[in-house]
């Protein structure tokens, strides 16, 4: 059975980070989200993987190549326009066999869950949909089960109206009849696979298999921090190469440090921090609960908490991202009490002494002048002056 991994989408809720990379390539503990999915499929015994690519596909193909490094064969199928997950699945019609597994490429799930899916499919020959309990069901496809049969799927219903707290976990097993089922479904907008599920659920045609264990979804910018923290918590200390840490610096156990990264004298890297490759943490700087992408620089004395620092970005000397909880509006949705000190976009440059209020999102390539204070959303390639 081949595994088809859906990785063509952009992930607009994660802008500005997704302006230069597709969402599945966002790093968690210094590995792209998609790599966790490839590994889960490989560990579940699947050795042929089809990745559906589209938006910024070269980032994905350059990273995974033919899959050799993961002990699997990877082929790529192009979804030229991102017209929905059902449409993405239609693109693999010529490359899959009688039955296949489909996995969302942007969420982390354990290999045992993928194995379960495959085993159910082999045992019953049904269309199988993975479901998991959620505390926030209305943010997902909400699934109602009768025994093991899926009786309804409602995509992102208004809050507090959802019929259950089970959601579509983004992993399925199909046979080729799904292609006609997708084609025969009228979708209001994008051709989403959940539209097809909504249509055929209730005919007794879909079996729900409950996932337990690891299932981590990055929907919003702040999720990247919490998911990163969760993964680091479960990593063994031996996985943390701390090659270039100054003897007076402290790097906590549950952090990862990429190759060619330097942590200078008296700097403190507290729990929940991923430092990508070729990062510089200057002397006396403090970093906690943050994801720092490759080639970024945190200058001496800076304080960076609950923050995403983009590729090749600079946080100037003694600049402060104080961190903490905040309320943010994303695409018109009010999100309360989310932990996000700030986002510093790729190639952005914060001058010395800059202060960043909680929840600030600074666009890619933006320059913030020495001593300025910033808050809210700042567009890409802007120049922010002091005062
Ligand atoms: C998609 C599906 C949704 C499912 C979710 C799982 O939503 O449409 O039914 O619950 O994946 O992560 P999206 O992530 O595109 O918002």
Residue 104, ligand 1, Cβ within 6 A = yes
370 CB-contact burial (10 Å; exposed 0-12 / middle 13-18 / buried 19+): middle
Apex 123 CA angle, 152 and 145, nearest 5: 15
CA of 191 to the centre of ligand 1 (A): 13
Q: Which has the minimum average pLDDT: 230-239, 326-335, 357-366, 371-380?
A: 230-239
Residue 218, ligand 1, Cβ within 6 A = no
CB 378 within 8 A of CB 359: no
Distances (CA, A) of 297 to 231, 232, 276, 309, 316: 24, 22, 11, 9, 8
Q: Tell me, what's the pLDDT at 200?
A: 92
Predicted confidence band at 236 (pLDDT cuts at 50, 70, 90)? low
Average pLDDT over residues 83-99: 97
Residue 107, ligand 1, Cβ within 6 A = yes
> Which of 140, 143, 167, 195 is the best mutation target for the ligand 1 pocket, counting ligand atoms within 8 Å of the beta carbon and taking the most?
140
Q: Which has the minimum average pLDDT: 194-198, 233-237, 344-348?
A: 233-237
Compute the CA torsion angle 262, 265, 270, 272 (nearest 10 deg).
0
In this model, does residue 311 exceed pLDDT 60? yes
Q: Tell me, what's the pLDDT at 241?
A: 56
The residue among 182 and 234 whose pLDDT is bigger is: 182
CB 146 within 8 A of CB 122: no
Predicted confidence band at 239 (pLDDT cuts at 50, 70, 90)? low
Computed over every residue of the chain, the mean pLDDT equals 94
Per-residue pLDDT tens over the stretch 30-49: 999 999 999 999 999 999 99
Predicted confidence band at 330 (pLDDT cuts at 50, 70, 90)? confident
Per-residue pLDDT tens over the stretch 265-299: 999 999 999 999 999 999 999 999 999 999 999 99
Q: Tell me, what's the pLDDT at 73?
A: 98
> Which of 89, 104, 171, 218 is the best mutation target for the ligand 1 pocket, counting ligand atoms within 8 Å of the beta carbon and taking the most?
104
Residue 217, ligand 1, Cβ within 6 A = yes
Q: Tell me, what's the pLDDT at 323?
A: 97
> Which of 130, 141, 165 is the best mutation target for the ligand 1 pocket, counting ligand atoms within 8 Å of the beta carbon and taking the most?
141
CB 342 within 8 A of CB 321: yes
In this model, does residue 240 exceed pLDDT 90? no
Cα–Cα distance, 36 to 42 (Å, whole number): 10
Cα–Cα distance, 88 to 72 (Å, whole number): 21
CA of 219 to the centre of ligand 1 (A): 9
Among 342, 280, 274, CA closest to 317: 280
Q: Tell me, what's the pLDDT at 105?
A: 97
CB 66 within 8 A of CB 74: yes
In this model, does residue 238 exceed pLDDT 60? no
164 CB-contact burial (10 Å; exposed 0-12 / middle 13-18 / buried 19+): middle
Average pLDDT over residues 58-83: 97
Predicted confidence band at 150 (pLDDT cuts at 50, 70, 90)? very high
Percentage of the chain beyond pLDDT 70 is 98
In this model, does residue 354 exceed pLDDT 70? yes
Beta-bridged to residue 99, according to DSSP, are 175
Q: Which has the minimum average pLDDT: 119-123, 146-150, 234-238, 370-374?
A: 234-238
In this model, does residue 176 exceed pLDDT 70? yes
Predicted confidence band at 213 (pLDDT cuts at 50, 70, 90)? confident
Q: Tell me, what's the pLDDT at 62?
A: 98
CA of 26 to the centre of ligand 1 (A): 17
Q: Tell me, what's the pLDDT at 377?
A: 94
Q: Which has the minimum average pLDDT: 18-22, 40-44, 51-55, 209-213?
A: 209-213
Q: Tell me, what's the pLDDT at 237?
A: 58
Instruction: Give the list of residues 6+ apart from residue 9 with CB closer than 8 angstroms, or none.
Output: 22, 23, 54, 55, 82, 106
Q: Tell me, what's the pLDDT at 102?
A: 98
């Amino acid at each position: 059975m081949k595994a088809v991994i859906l990785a063509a989408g952009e992930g607009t809720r994660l802008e500005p980070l997704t302006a230069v990379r597709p969402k599945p390539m966002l790093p968690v503990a210094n590995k792209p989200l998609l790599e966790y999915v490839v590994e889960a499929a490989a560990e579940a015994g699947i050795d042929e993987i089809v990745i559906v690519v589209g938006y910024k596909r070269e980032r994905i193909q350059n990273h995974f190549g033919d899959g050799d490094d993961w002990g699997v064969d990877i082929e790529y199928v192009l979804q030229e326009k991102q017209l929905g997950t059902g449409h993405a699945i239609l693109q693999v019609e010529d490359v899959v066999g009688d039955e296949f597994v489909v996995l969302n490429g942007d969420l982390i799930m354990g290999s045992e869950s993928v194995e379960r899916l495959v085993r159910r499919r082999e045992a019953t020959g049904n269309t199988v949909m993975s479901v998991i309990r959620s505390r926030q069901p209305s943010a997902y496809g909400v699934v109602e089960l009768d025994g093991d049969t899926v009786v309804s799927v409602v995509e992102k219903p208004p809050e507090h109206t959802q019929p259950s707290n089970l959601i579509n976990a983004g992993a399925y097993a199909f046979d080729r009849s799904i292609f006609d089922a997708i084609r025969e479904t009228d979708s209001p907008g994008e051709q989403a696979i959940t539209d097809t599920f909504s249509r055929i659920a209730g005919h007794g045609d879909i079996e729900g298999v409950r996932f337990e264990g690891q299932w981590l979804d990055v929907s919003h910018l702040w999720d990247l921090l919490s998911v990163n923290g969760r993964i680091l918590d479960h990593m063994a200390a031996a996985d943390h190469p701390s090659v270039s840490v100054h003897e007076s610096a402290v790097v906590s156990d549950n952090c990862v440090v990429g190759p060619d990264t330097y942590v200078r004298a008296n700097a403190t890297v507290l729990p929940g921090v991923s430092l990508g490759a070729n990062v510089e943490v200057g002397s006396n700087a403090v970093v906690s609960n943050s994801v720092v992408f490759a080639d970024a620089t945190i200058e001496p004395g800076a304080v960076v908490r609950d923050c995403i620092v983009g590729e090749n970005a600079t946080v100037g000397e003694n600049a402060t991202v104080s961190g903490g909880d905040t309320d943010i509006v994303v695409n018109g949705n009010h999100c309360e009490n989310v932990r996000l000190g700030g986002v510093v976009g790729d190639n952005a440059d914060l001058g010395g002494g800059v202060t960043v209020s909680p929840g600030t999102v600074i666009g890619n390539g933006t320059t913030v002048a020495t001593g300025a204070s910033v808050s809210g959303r700042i567009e890409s390639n802007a120049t922010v002056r002091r005062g």
